[in-house]
Structure 1
């Protein structure tokens, strides 16, 4: 048997306390018995885990090492409460350093006072940290970690604990991406886009990749613990070590497989980046300048598809200046170019009243009087809709968007010649399940993905790199190329294997001219979405809990 990972739970004084106290006092002692530096170490590991994500190139390997250390921290706990606090500390460190750019949007561009913006960031990070806390608590229960006798003799890493960790972690991340409309930013699978486990993305999506990360890390700790045991017991390290090697080798091998195939000839695309300053974007002079800028950029050069960023022209189509409309229409008809233009949509009553405003994309097809329209479905809380009871919070910021209406979950794609384009707007690109659903339920699945964004709200921060990394994960999950058009960056062309083919410099106006090859076919993730990882995680975690209870009894 491998040597147990030591815990202060075996201190005689605490053992006596448990003997004479009731269950609640024992639980409290378990939490208090962990030294403060333990939680500070978990906090530091969480902060370091931010380095696993973009722009770090070797982030996948960094993440595996940090998750091993995090699992060792969990192994030092001896009750679900101390495990949950360890998970909370890790999560808070990760989120407060990983999404600090929200401060930029709230303070620099939203005008919120700095103390309130900092407080909002801290409170939001605490909320996000509740999901790693939940995952760590579930792991402790599933491993049987709360067993008093096991707590006193220390934790021996084993297969049950490894699978309980993988399942609990995946469920926690899925819940974070679902509850209250979801915020799956910094899901652990994203760090593997350039890592050894990226090959699992077409099968089980980003949450399944996170499941593999947690399992590989826990098994690696088990293997190391086995090697640290007495010589006669070191053979026990062989199986978990082989399992880790199999996971890594499997991920690398799967990344070489092509789940989709080329669909017809490539099309030319021209992706525009206007670099309109956020503070000017919605005032009258800024809107006039943006219209002139994008008219010039759109009509400068033909392409099969010309794409502008999100709300490139922040007006309703009915409010567009006639010369702009005429110039874009004449350009499309004379050159055969299709144009996707970011703007606002709405319903206009006979009396001229505007209702149900939407964040929309409008498509102009050559020699066609039909105007394509896509309305953003997954809206940003506090930016595009205000959760009940939080209007006071939004009033503290000078953000021009309020309560918008959302579009349908599945909307028709945009046809560009012989290619079919699935479009989404900004925040929607981080919800892979919704993109997979549109491809799964469409009468003619799209061959090309397009995301338009305005990330100027976050300045020149890691938010731009992280958003591009998540777009790359969407290409791995679906086996389709993606064209990203942004106002300030990162504007890029990504192929069906997640590789960035071309990219414009950040905070610079320009146009990216690329050829994009449409793809057809269905990856396993398109067919099943998150169903596989959720079903496996729930089943295995239930078995772990049942086995732990039986062993305790």
Structure 2
């Protein structure tokens, strides 16, 4: 089959590469047709392994990446077209690299696991470089509803990427030269993957302690592009109004009294220490609630023309007790790499505003609720796409996990569903409930197995109270996944290098 496809005109093969990239993108939200990841990943190898020259392989990888990223990241158009084109081109480079790596192992008997390992390596790279990485479209994020879900607490997102890529390569290996031996090997590998996934599904959620009633407020936002949260202080007023509504429901007995209340990222859009109206709104919210408020806000500094996205733990009697500062910040969304060079060249980047500075401390806060200590694990929006940041929430003792997010600028796009799916994968990895609170949807509660307990998809205002158990315990993924990712990436790279050197000697 590989040989037959290789005889097609190059232009047709490039078109097929774009198509296979689109097929892979359809495996992600908002489509969520995860089985398409199998023919999608197989399709890239089908074309690349038959390429006669290295530059043809790279061209095919370019086509694949453009199809995959062009569909998967189309939500960047909500910012502006140039941002969309830039991020698609930047991420496509990594699939050009993947195609080049795959081409060097053509004809080798062991190419299926090597190419699957190269998928892991390329995703590891794009998650870290450049600009601290943009690993938003990792294959492992799309499989939380698949039979491989049980792999998450064992081997993490990287391991799930390897598994589905291996299935795709195995399918091509089987179809290319079908035979009894290959059917047997493919069957054994499939059974092994399903067996390990089943074993992983038996890992229980962390040990449950005394529950905590957590109130949440989704203030609602107008949405639509860069200014999606509305004019200055609009989001603050919305979340104050939502807090009043929540406490009215408490007084009427419609929901239990919360032990604390969570506002999302951009629950306020101005620094309460420099803006009197914002400060007063937080004081008013605390007076209404009479319980601690965990509020997402924007803080000025630490330097001139700088800012930080933070979550403040505010006590009705003591004010700010502690805070978490967002560690994963979005390049060209919250900060501009090479700002002094790029901003004069591309004035539209001015929409980013002051340069965001990332935090450095793990997202675990030691707080007190209802007179009892609580370790609160927190991630803010883009944080969820980083393995280390996610794992830190339980590594450092988080008992209750929340994700605060502001997706108002992406209303009507697939970004919101993609982020919620990533958060579901994190819940499945850590075997913890995760409460997601956003400015305008999707807010919701995710179960320890990654299932959706409930969700609010309407971008308008919503409030509620949910009971979350204080949980302890760490799944194997926290220790195993980083080592596994490094091992697979290194093994894939070394085997590709060995194959390339062997070919050079043979020639």
The interval holding the TM-score normalised by the smaller chain is 0.7 to 0.9
For 1:269-311, what per-residue CA distance to the aligned partner results, in whole angstroms no more than 9, with x for missing partners?
2221111224474534636743642452464433123111111
**Secondary structure in 2 aligned to 1:407?**
coil
Number of positions where the alignment pairs a residue of Structure 1 with one of Structure 2: 487
Q: Moved runs in structure 1, 4+ residues, more than 6 A?
A: none
- Calculate the aligned-residue CA RMSD, in Å: 2.7
Residue 425 (1) aligns with residue 373 (2): no
CA distance in 2, matches of 1:437, 1:63: 29
Q: Which residue of 1 aligns with 2:52?
A: 78
1:242 aligns with 2:181: no
Helix, strand or coil for the counterpart of 2:202?
coil
User: CA deviation digits over 1:49-69, x for unaligned, max 9?
Assistant: 221112335x33221232233
Which structure 2 residues correspond to residues 238-387 of structure 1 after superposition, within 5 A? 238-250=183-195, 252-278=197-223, 279=227, 281=229, 283-284=231-232, 286=234, 289-290=237-238, 292-297=240-245, 299-300=247-248, 301=250, 302-318=257-273, 319-321=275-277, 323-333=280-290, 337-346=291-300, 356-365=306-315, 368=318, 370-387=320-337
Normalising by the residue count of structure 1, what TM-score does the alignment of the two structures yield?
0.81
Which residue matches 2:253?
Answer: none
What is the DSSP-based 3-state SS (H/G/I as helix, E as strand, rest coil) of the residue aligned with 1:467?
A: helix
Give, in whole Å, the separation in 2 of the partners of 1:477 and 1:50.
23
Question: Is the contact between residue 6 and residue 47 of structure 2 (CA under 8 Å) also seen in structure 1?
Answer: no
Q: In structure 1, how many angstroms separate the alpha carbons of the residues matched to 2:325 and 2:233?
A: 26
Is 2:471 the counterpart of 1:519?
yes
Q: Distance in 2 between matches of 1:4 and 1:94?
A: 21
Work out which of the residue numbers 477, 486, 490 in structure 2 matches 1:534. Answer: 486
Q: Conserved in 2, the CA contact under 8 Å of 1:196 and 1:251?
A: no
Q: 1:511 to 1:292 in 2, by over 3 A?
A: closer
Summarize the Cα distance change of 1:536–1:447 in structure 2 as closer, same or farther, 3 Å threshold.
same
Deviation of the 1:161 alpha carbon: 0.7
* TM-score (norm. length: structure 2): 0.88
Q: How does 1:44-443 map to 2 (within 5 A)?
A: 44-57=19-32, 59-106=33-80, 117=81, 119-141=82-104, 143=105, 145=106, 155=107, 159-180=109-130, 181-227=132-178, 234-250=179-195, 252-278=197-223, 279=227, 281=229, 283-284=231-232, 286=234, 289-290=237-238, 292-297=240-245, 299-300=247-248, 301=250, 302-318=257-273, 319-321=275-277, 323-333=280-290, 337-346=291-300, 356-365=306-315, 368=318, 370-388=320-338, 389-392=341-344, 395-396=347-348, 399=351, 401-415=353-367, 416=369, 417-440=372-395, 442=396
Closer/same/farther in 2, CA of residues 346 and 214 from structure 1, 3 Å limit:
same
- The verdict on how the C-alpha distance between 1:474 and 1:269 changes in structure 2, with shifts beyond 3 A counting, is same
Partners of 1:473 and 1:394 in 2: CA distance: 36
Unaligned runs of 5+ in 1: 10-32, 107-116, 146-154, 228-233
Q: Which runs of 5+ in 2 are unaligned?
A: 251-256
Q: Is the contact between residue 271 and residue 491 of structure 1 (CA under 8 Å) also seen in structure 2?
A: no
The residue that corresponds to 1:15 in the other structure is: none
CA 358–545 in structure 1, closer or farther in 2 if over 3 Å, else same: closer
Q: Separation in 1 of the partners of 2:301 and 2:122? A: 39
Distance 1:166 1:121, change over 3 A: same
